[in-house]
Amino acid sequence: MNERLDAIRQEILDGIKEKANSRATAFELRKQFLDSKTGKIGQLMKEMKTIAPEDRASFGKGVNELKEWALEKFTELDEKMKTLELDLRYKSEKIDVTMPAKEICTGNLHPITQMRNQLIDVFAGMGFEIYEGTEIENDYYNFTALNTPADHPARDMQDTFYLSPEFLLRTQTSAGQIHVMEAKKPPIKILSPGKVFRSDDDATHSPMFTQMEGLVVDEKITLCDLKGMLDVFVKKIYGEDTTTRLRPSYFPFTEPSVEVDVSCFECGGKGCKLCKGTGWIEILGAGIVNKKVLENCGIDSDRYSGLAFGIGIERTAMLKYGINNIKLLFESDIRVLKQIDDN
């Protein structure tokens, strides 16, 4: 009898040595011996009835001792496996805080969108509302109503893509002025950003580009209001020390018309490559709305006056970010786009 008990003891020791390599396998092994129904030690207890009465006491004692011993062994084994598994987990989940972090690449808005948003911010702060017109216009809104009739030489200033004798791709966001003034009576204060199209293509011109039109119509609007607003605009975009100057120019829809220059933000006005030695950089066209244009829209030009300006968004961005070829703004080269992040 003692031999059987010893054999089981040995089987347990061998099992622990050879089969148990995790808490789960140790538990399985434990079940083989200690499960109350199927375990080998439990089975021995059941044999009690078949043992001769005089041997029962010592058999029972032997089995009980074996059971106690096995319980102890398996408890010890479980503890050992627990520590082992924890060690393995610590090893596999170890974080090396000195490893360089993975770079997370986030996109940013396109430079033209950034510039457009900055301009909208500046003028929205002065109370301008946004009006977005359409890219296809008819001749009347793009030219005639803007005091540029069919035979007017100023039409040659803009090489137009005609879709039909009547319809065209708008050459200027100024077309939006007419829509707004037809729909709304003064006071008017709108900003109209959008794409415009001209058959023009070189380092500083693209057949499609973006403009931002401004229009203010009210009583007693003068060139001083225009200069005041543009001064705020250039300071916000090009820096606090920037100023403007107005030069006489010509646009059919404004009288007087001006070309607006900013003091060179690169050299502070001393003269450099960017400003071609003049200290000034041309940035936009503007003026006092021609009375004829107000009248074309049914606005009393004796009572009301207006100011208007047209900003080229690509040009503003090129100057601000030091871009010398407009194509760089349309090619979406990631190396260029990455450098411009003013958000």
- For helices 23-34 and 2-18, the axis angle rounded to 10 degrees is 170
Q: Is 221 in the site for ligand DAH (CB under 6 A)?
A: no
Interface with ligand DAH by CB under 6 A: which range of 13-21, 32-40, 130-138, 283-291?
Answer: 283-291
**3-class DSSP state of 253:** coil
Q: Which of 287, 290, 296, 306 binds ligand DAH (CB under 6 A)?
A: 287
CB of 143 to ligand DAH, least distance (A): 11
C-alpha 226/C-alpha 233 separation (Å) is 11
Q: Is 252 in the site for ligand DAH (CB under 6 A)?
A: no
Cα separations in angstroms, 6 against 53, 135, 143, 206? 22, 97, 111, 96
Which positions from 185 through 204 interact with ligand DAH, judged by CB under 6 A?
A: none
Q: Which of 138, 142, 174, 296 binds ligand DAH (CB under 6 A)?
A: 174
Number of chain residues interacting with ligand DAH (CB under 6 A): 11
Q: Is 213 in the site for ligand DAH (CB under 6 A)?
A: yes
Query: Which residue in the shown chain puts its C-beta closest to ligand DAH?
Result: 310
Q: Which of 26, 285, 319, 328 binds ligand DAH (CB under 6 A)?
A: 285
Interface with ligand DAH by CB under 6 A: which range of 30-38, 93-101, 306-314, 317-325?
Answer: 306-314
Q: Is 309 in the site for ligand DAH (CB under 6 A)?
A: yes
What is the DSSP pairing of strand 129-130 with strand 188-197?
parallel
Cα separations in angstroms, 169 against 143, 150, 199, 214, 254? 12, 16, 10, 20, 22
In the block, tokens 């061998």 appear at: 14
Q: Is 233 in the site for ligand DAH (CB under 6 A)?
A: no
- The DSSP call for residue 268 is T
Question: Which amino acid would we find at residue 105?
Answer: C
Question: Which amino acid would we find at residue 63?
Answer: V
Nearer to ligand DAH, 15 or 287 (CB): 287
CB of 177 to ligand DAH, least distance (A): 7
Q: Is 316 in the site for ligand DAH (CB under 6 A)?
A: no
C-alpha 227/C-alpha 225 separation (Å) is 6
C-alpha 154/C-alpha 144 separation (Å) is 11
Q: How far apart are the first and last CA of the chain?
A: 87
Nearer to ligand DAH, 12 or 212 (CB): 212
- The mark string for 134-173 relative to ligand DAH (x by CB under 6 A, - otherwise) is --------------------------------------x-
Look at the chain and count its residues. 343
- The DSSP call for residue 325 is -
Q: Is 133 in the site for ligand DAH (CB under 6 A)?
A: no
* Footprint of ligand DAH (CB under 6 A): 172, 174, 213, 251, 254, 285-287, 308-310
